[in-house]
Amino acid sequence: MATKRVAICAVAQHKNEPDLWYRRFQNMLLDVLEDLQEKTGFTYGENGVEMIVSTSDDFFDARTISNNGVTDVIGGQYLAEEKMAQEGLNAIGYANSIILSGHKDLVLIMGHCKESQGESRNMITNCGFDPFYGRATGLDYLNAAGLQAQAYMRKSSLTDDQLAEIVVRSRQWAAKNPYANAREAVPAGKVKASPMLCDPIRQLHAYPVSDGAVGLLLASEERAKEFTDKPVWITGFANCMDTFFFGDRDLTSNFALKKATANACRRAGIQDLKKAADVVEVMDCYAYQQPMWMEGLGFCGDGEGGRFVAEGGPGKYRVNLSGGTLAGNPLIISGLYRAAEATLQLQGGAGDRQVPDAKCAVAHSTNGPAGQFHSVLILEA
Amino acid sequence: MKKHEKNRNVAIIGIGQTTLSSHKEDQNQVEMVAEAVRNVLADANMTLDDIDCIVHGNMELFEMQFQPDMWHALGCGSYGKEEYRITTGGTVGATLVCASDSLVASGQYDTVLCLGFEKLQEGNTTGGITNMADPLWFRNLQTGALTSTTATEMIKEFGKDRVLRAAMKYRIMMDKHAMLNERAHRRLGLEYDQLETLMETSPQLVGELRLIHMCSQSDGACAMILTHEDRVKKGTAKPPVWIRDHETSHRGENMSNLYGAQKPKSTHRDCAERLFKRNGITNPLEYFDVFEMYDPSAYWGLDWLREFLLLKDDAVLKLMEAGEFDLDGKLPVNPSGGVIASNPIGATAMLRPAEAALQIRGDAGGHQIKKEVRHALASGFGGTLWTVMLMLEKELNW
């Protein structure tokens, strides 16, 4: 009979770096894999891992069928290997379903992305717009975020000072995270004086270009104890898609995130996420997104992101103690880093960042231009 | 090997395809996927309100559209819904069905719509495939999916005349099937008495591989709706087709290893052995009533039949020569005309279980097999010789 719940047994992270020009992504994955095998002792094949969900992107890897370049390195020889071609947090949602379905009882998740390999991230995300309208006008995910930031800051009274405060705090926490990319402290003045990328987004409001890789081992309830004595249970996962054309959307509404949150909470049996969560990891590619996504997750009321920051919400709700995406994770696997940090917190393995007695954690990720798509993962110790 | 036990049984209750063509110039990508989605909803007599989750896939670099599911949100109906985008190269269409099966069986989603598409006209397919290889070592040697190696190996094994005839017979058989399928892209009207002429006149690509042997480059999309047993019991517009099991076998990227002095075990045979063993199938040739196989070329079609069906020696050639893969043969192969006739890559591997399911429903129209189809096999191919296989059943009785 199929399992009732699924555990994350262990996570392994490659340190995020601005430009690992001397390492191929295969090398990075191999380090992560060996780390994960050391932690859990898992093997491949019958009674071991028979199913791998990889996460990578054809554009960032500049190769068609990007998982083809890593199938052997992640142990996929003559096994089932599939690629999550969305943001990596969805790989955890998918793997959760595979194990709940009874099809496989162990799933290995291996994600990688080297943003440094492309000449510009914006060149890639420009190709995310439809070739007739958006792409032709030069829209990319940064531009899209700029438009959203303008609208959201007006709606929520979020100030430039608060954006700087969010970045300063991110760096303070990143300094305690050995896997973070941007770990050096920055004063608020430097953030506010950093070059304007796309009004109101300044260079230090934007996540730095990063190379990274993450691995996780998931198991059915019955098998989790073979690999860990600190299983972290997946109790709720959901995602949601908003519409594509900006004219069809209210960029400040958090439509997709609110719906994904409601569905994840329903599956986890949680009434009030704000009360339940001990740790929250959100994918904040740009500083304005941290309060905006917290609003979408229900930690403050509609349009209250400015007040949320002013009242110390990020500290109170222990938001992004990893440093968050602002401290540097690649776009495609930022959600896997969020989940990795959440797992470490619930396992008591988060070092200097550890929240005492953390029982419930939320990991969030977003995909597409201006938060078109959101994913929410709820984990419990 | 442990028996495969699903949390709950899953059936295909809707099948939708677009027409398949070299140029669907009257549609953009969104409009094309919408055609498949409209068709599958009509087939299942459902609306988007009945769908919990969309599963989307293709190969991004063929159309140069980064994360195309974002733009396609309107066309595939994912607005306000949960959505996954899962890709595996050529196998992607079959993987999307496997993924949807898992999502429904998990109990997390009740009714899932999966969608595979490709608009190859909008990109450079061979350029895209060449990009598959490592940029440092293999890219300049990579020649896409095109290979005559299998022809050479088979000729060495069975003799030139016999292999060339069997491969061309396979090609003509596929065209005869495609002629019966009004949705198929290439319908040439080939006859068996043209066999020797075609062996001489079709342009040579590499060695004995000729243009006529190769699959087409098509635009098109395929969509399917899957739901669980309890929902099926409430009644469905068309007969349900049950997904009994599925399996995937992938392998590493190094093409040179595939053709080294010692030929490694094929993923097709590996996958088939695992799938059949788990389901107690000892003689696939006897068990299955139809096989929709991803056959990118006539030589690969012929060679892979022996791998999938676990045949020995020259059994596959004997079966081919005796017409046992025809529509009235022992195991009809690709009544739809297969991949040689129509190949919108991201949809191609979904068209295999879709066509197999139509045969089980008795809904295949002109290319319906005359005898009853109760057990169907479907396969996908992609990457560096990757395999996905699905077993479909008419009855929920295994």
Q: Which two tokens mark B53?
A: 């989750």
A80 to B5: CB separation less than 8 angstroms, yes or no = no
Bridge partners (DSSP) listed for residue A237: A377
Report the percent of chain B where pLDDT is more than 90.
Answer: 85
Q: What angle do CA A234, A13, B248 make, to 5 degrees?
A: 65
User: How far is it, in rounded angstroms, from Cα A233 to Cα A368?
Assistant: 28
Beta strands in B198-303 (DSSP E): 204-206, 209-210, 219-228, 241-249, 290-292
B31 and B55 Cβ atoms separated by less than 8 Å:
no
Whether pLDDT at A1 is above 50: no
Grouping H, G, I as helix, E, B as strand and the rest as coil, residue A312 is coil
Chain centroid offset of residue A128 CA: 19
- The per-residue DSSP string of A317-351 comes to TTB-TT-TGGGT--GGGHHHHHHHHHHHHHHT--G
Interface check for A241 against chain B (CB to CB < 8 A): the answer is yes
Closest partner CB to A71 (pick from B85, B102, B253)? B253
Mutate to test the interface with B, among A55, A82, A129, A234 (most CBs of B within 10 A): A82
Closest partner CB to B84 (pick from A68, A80, A90)? A90
Closest partner CB to A64 (pick from B67, B81, B129)? B129
Q: Which residues of A touch B73 (CB under 8 A)?
A: 241-244, 372
Instruction: Please give the residue of chain B at the shortest CA–CA distance from A259.
Output: B80
How far away is chain B from the Cα of A344, in angstroms, using its nearest Cα? 26
How far away is chain B from the Cα of A278, in angstroms, using its nearest Cα? 25
B339 and B296 Cβ atoms separated by less than 8 Å:
yes
Instruction: Please give the residue of chain A at the shortest CA–CA distance from B103.
Output: A97
A85 to B64: CB separation less than 8 angstroms, yes or no = no
- The model's pTM is 0.97
Q: Which residues of A touch B125 (CB under 8 A)?
A: none
Query: First-to-last CA distance in chain B?
Result: 17
* Segment A81-137, tens digit of pLDDT: 999 999 999 999 999 999 999 999 999 999 999 999 999 999 999 999 999 999 999
Percent of chain B as helix, strand, coil, to the nearest 5: 40, 20, 40
Q: How many CB atoms lie within 10 A of CB B70?
A: 25
Q: Which two tokens mark B296?
A: 């990118």
Instruction: Please give the residue of chain A at the shortest CA–CA distance from B62.
Output: A64
Closest CA to B54 of B16, B87, B96: B96
* Segment B370-397, tens digit of pLDDT: 999 999 999 999 988 899 999 999 999 9
Q: Which residues of A touch B30 (CB under 8 A)?
A: 130
How far away is chain A from the Cα of B108, in angstroms, using its nearest Cα? 7
ipTM of the complex: 0.97
A84 to B86: CB separation less than 8 angstroms, yes or no = yes
Whether pLDDT at B143 is above 70: no
Interface check for A239 against chain B (CB to CB < 8 A): the answer is yes
Whether pLDDT at B253 is above 70: no
Residue A293 parent element (H or E): helix A289-296
B370 and B299 Cβ atoms separated by less than 8 Å:
no
Lowest mean pLDDT among A244-258, B196-210, B249-263: B249-263
* Segment A143-195, tens digit of pLDDT: 999 999 999 999 999 999 999 999 999 999 999 999 999 999 999 999 999 99
A68 to B383: CB separation less than 8 angstroms, yes or no = yes
How far away is chain B from the Cα of A180, in angstroms, using its nearest Cα? 26
* Segment B18-61, tens digit of pLDDT: 999 999 999 999 999 999 999 999 999 999 999 999 999 999 99
Q: Which residues of B touch A372 (CB under 8 A)?
A: 70, 73
Q: Which two tokens mark A255?
A: 């439509």
Whether pLDDT at B218 is above 90: yes
> Which distant-in-sequence residues (6+ apart) come within 8 Å of A279 by Cβ?
A318, A321, A341, A342, A345, A346, A355, A358, A360, A361, A362
B253 to A68: CB separation less than 8 angstroms, yes or no = yes
Q: What is the pLDDT of residue A2?
A: 60
B382 to A65: CB separation less than 8 angstroms, yes or no = yes
Q: How many CB atoms lie within 10 A of CB B366?
A: 12
How far away is chain B from the Cα of A95, in angstroms, using its nearest Cα? 9
* Segment B329-343, tens digit of pLDDT: 999 999 999 999 999
* Segment B96-125, tens digit of pLDDT: 999 999 999 999 999 999 999 999 999 888
Interface check for B61 against chain A (CB to CB < 8 A): the answer is yes
User: How far is it, in rounded angstroms, from Cα B271 to Cα B265?
Assistant: 10
B106 to A100: CB separation less than 8 angstroms, yes or no = yes
CA dihedral A51, A57, A61, A62 (to 10 degrees): 120
